[in-house]
Structure 1
Amino acid sequence: MSQLIVLGVADRETAERALDIAADLNKQQLLRLEDAAYAYKDDKGRPRIQQTVSTTGMGAAGGALWGTLIGLIFLNPLLGLAVGAATGAVAGKLTDIGIDDDMIKQIGTHLEDGRAAVFLLADITTADRVIDAVKPLRPTVIQTNLSKDDEHELVEALRA
């Protein structure tokens, strides 16, 4: 089962390092990363979100494929490609998979200036190795969907 863990980190660069660490742990099969993102405030104090999965791009690619196939049936593959890509991009933009975008925005608006939040939706298979990998970033737990006991253990493990 996937767990949502939101960690507070020092800044945007640390958030990017956290996502790099999560991607590396995913390659090592120490966790199965389903979605990841980070939020930070820009120089003007506006919340910004960086996501790792672009549903717009995936939708455009899928739409282009289906549009081309339909275009071949009606003997106009270029028109089918264009219409399919545009339709797929719009559908991808409206699709929300993984971590809830509204939650990311809400937490992003409450960040202190300079700080960032890292959002990980993952099935963690070896929690001790994952904690050891992110501990040098000195994260704080903002929110999880873990049980109270598991969340408390996570907070204590990151403090130690």
Structure 2
Amino acid sequence: MSDLVFVGFPTEQKAEEVRQRVLALQREYLIELGDAVVVVKDANGQIKLNQLVNLTAAGAASGALWGTLVGLIFMMPLAGTALGAASGALSGYFTDVGINDQFMKDAAAALQPGTAGLFLLIRKVTADKVLADLRGIGGTLISTSFDETKEARLREALAAVCDSAPATPPAPATGA
């Protein structure tokens, strides 16, 4: 069973930075993601999804390859490439993998204009290590499918002050 987490951030750069951090945790096998999407709400209220994989481009490339091969059989490789790329791009455009795009756009309506959010579809997680790594990253937990205890721990980790912050210098000593 997967869990869905939606965290809001003040900027697109911060949301992308956190996504890269979570992807690094995935490379360390501490978390397994089904999807990680940065959503941006611009100043005009338009919502843009930054997916990990551009399925339209991948479909076009795959279609062009297969179209070329089929075109070679019929002695029309250029026509096969063009038709394959077009059909691949079209199929990639209509394919939705991971989190439903319309759901993300509807949920992102809660964001303030000029801000961003990060959707994470989490399949498996080593919660204590991931929360420790994400401690103090900031952000606001907007929505989650976690139970109350996990959600509270995530809120606490997001809001926690990072331990690596420099300590406040001591007040200067006054001599008598």
TM interval, short-chain normalised: 0.7 to 0.9
Partner of 2:93: 93
More displaced stretch, 89-98 vs 65-74? 65-74
**Counterpart-to-counterpart distance in 1, 2:125 and 2:46:** 36
Partner of 1:110: 110
Partner of 1:26: 26
**Counterpart-to-counterpart distance in 1, 2:127 and 2:59:** 33
Alpha-carbon offset, residue 15 of structure 1: 0.5
- The number of residues matched between the two structures is 160
Give the superposed CA RMSD.
1.9
More displaced stretch, 90-99 vs 61-70? 61-70
Partner of 1:50: 50
**Counterpart-to-counterpart distance in 2, 1:68 and 1:113:** 45
CA offsets 1:105-133 (integer angstroms, 9 cap, x no match): 11222211333210111323311222222
2:91 match: secondary structure: helix
Letter in 1 for 2:48: R
Partner of 1:64: 64
**Counterpart-to-counterpart distance in 1, 2:120 and 2:129:** 16
1:64 match: secondary structure: helix
- Contiguous gaps of at least 5 residues in structure 2: 161-176
Alpha-carbon offset, residue 20 of structure 1: 1.1
Are 2:136 and 2:158, in contact at CA under 8 Å, matched by a contact in 1? no
More displaced stretch, 89-98 vs 19-28? 19-28
The TM-score, its normalising length taken from structure 2, stands at 0.80
Are 1:9 and 1:137, in contact at CA under 8 Å, matched by a contact in 2? no
Alpha-carbon offset, residue 99 of structure 1: 1.0
Q: Tell me the percent identity.
A: 41
**Counterpart-to-counterpart distance in 2, 1:121 and 1:69:** 36
Letter in 2 for 1:40: V
CA offsets 1:35-54 (integer angstroms, 9 cap, x no match): 11112222333222222121
**Counterpart-to-counterpart distance in 1, 2:11 and 2:145:** 24
- Contiguous gaps of at least 5 residues in structure 1: none
The TM-score, its normalising length taken from structure 1, stands at 0.87
Partner of 2:165: none
Are 2:137 and 2:158, in contact at CA under 8 Å, matched by a contact in 1? no
CA offsets 1:46-79 (integer angstroms, 9 cap, x no match): 2222221211012112212221221122122221
2:70 match: secondary structure: helix
Bigger-Rg structure (1/2): 2
Alpha-carbon offset, residue 95 of structure 1: 0.8
If asked which structure has higher relative contact order (CA below 8 Å, sep 6+), I would say: 1
2:14 match: secondary structure: helix
